[in-house]
Amino acid sequence: MPSQTAAIQWQQFLNKFQNTLWKVLDWIFPPFCPGCNKTGIRLCEDCRSSIRRISDPICPVCGEPGNDSSICQDCLNYPPEFDRLRSAALFDGVIRESLHRLKYNNDIGLGEILAPFLVEVSASQNWDIDLVTSVPLSNERLRMRGYNQAECLAKPFAAMIGKLYAPSAILRIKNTKSQIDLSAGERRENVSGAFYANSSQVVLKSVIIIDDVSTTGSTISECARALKLAGAKGVYALTLARAPIRTDR
Ligand SMILES: [Zn+2]
Ligand SMILES: [Zn+2]
């Protein structure tokens, strides 16, 4: 589709332009590594290599690390709405600190540095992807923070894999409370019916949802439910980090 190709090229151009802007800003305000505070670098090699990547054995559906490669008990008890979920790394050390800075310290240039970890995982999966989107924030939280940290990862990710980023493919239609102190069941309840997907953007498309952290995958599963209701043919999801329950945000 020529218009879609033009849209992807435009997004890639904007992404490059933004990168140039970061470089100028880095020159004026030198960045520092989120792991060791070394100045002049966004993520140093030592800290990069300390990141604990998630590898097999994992649950083939939700990607939860486990003792073997069979479907985990959670996926058996409550089959998720997404087709596959994978996460790049464990939510600790440098990744935890980087995501904290991305989320609360306006260090949005980190999205560009962290997105290649997502590209690496998606490249290893052979997923057929048409469209990239991200988990939306509530309007209230978006107003407070000024940006969506999932979008900071999704936008460069889409540009890097040459796919269209559709920020409004999923809309949040219900305000939900923070999932931090909730059990798995409470999390499912909390996000139930919270999302609506835009059928004109996703019908018959294979969509990938990007988020910063997943714990039980309940938010992503609910986003996937909305996408499938709107006619998406496949829903994949990628998060930068995987957190144990009760410590993610
Ligand atoms: Zn460092
Ligand atoms: Zn699972």
Whichever domain contains 125, its CATH number is 3.40.50.2020
Query: What pLDDT score was predicted for residue 27?
Result: 81
96 CA to middle of ligand 1, Å? 13
Query: What pLDDT score was predicted for residue 1?
Result: 63
Residues 133 and 152: their CA atoms lie apart, in Å, by: 11
Q: Is residue 170 part of a domain?
A: yes
247 CA to middle of ligand 1, Å? 23
177 CA to middle of ligand 1, Å? 34
Query: What pLDDT score was predicted for residue 229?
Result: 97
Tokens read off for 213: 């952290």
Residues 241 and 84: their CA atoms lie apart, in Å, by: 15
Low-confidence ranges of the chain (pLDDT < 50): 247-249
Short-list 128, 129, 134, CA closest to 115: 134
- The four Cα atoms 135, 245, 111, 66 give a dihedral, to 10 degrees, of -100
Under 8 Å between Cβ of 226 and 49 = no
Tens digits of per-residue pLDDT, 114-167? Answer: 999 999 999 999 899 999 999 999 888 888 888 999 999 999 999 999 999 999
Range of the domain at 233: 51-242
35 CA to middle of ligand 1, Å? 4
Query: What pLDDT score was predicted for residue 21?
Result: 84
Query: What pLDDT score was predicted for residue 189?
Result: 87
Q: Is residue 220 part of a domain?
A: yes
219 CA to middle of ligand 2, Å? 14
Q: Is residue 221 part of a domain?
A: yes
Q: Per the structure, how many domains does the chain have?
A: 1
Q: Is residue 150 part of a domain?
A: yes
Report the chain's terminal Cα–Cα distance, integer Å. 40
Tens digits of per-residue pLDDT, 102-115? Answer: 888 878 888 999 99
Query: What pLDDT score was predicted for residue 2?
Result: 67
58 CA to middle of ligand 2, Å? 8
Buried b (16+ CB within 10 A) or exposed e, 70-86: eebebbeeeebbbbbbb
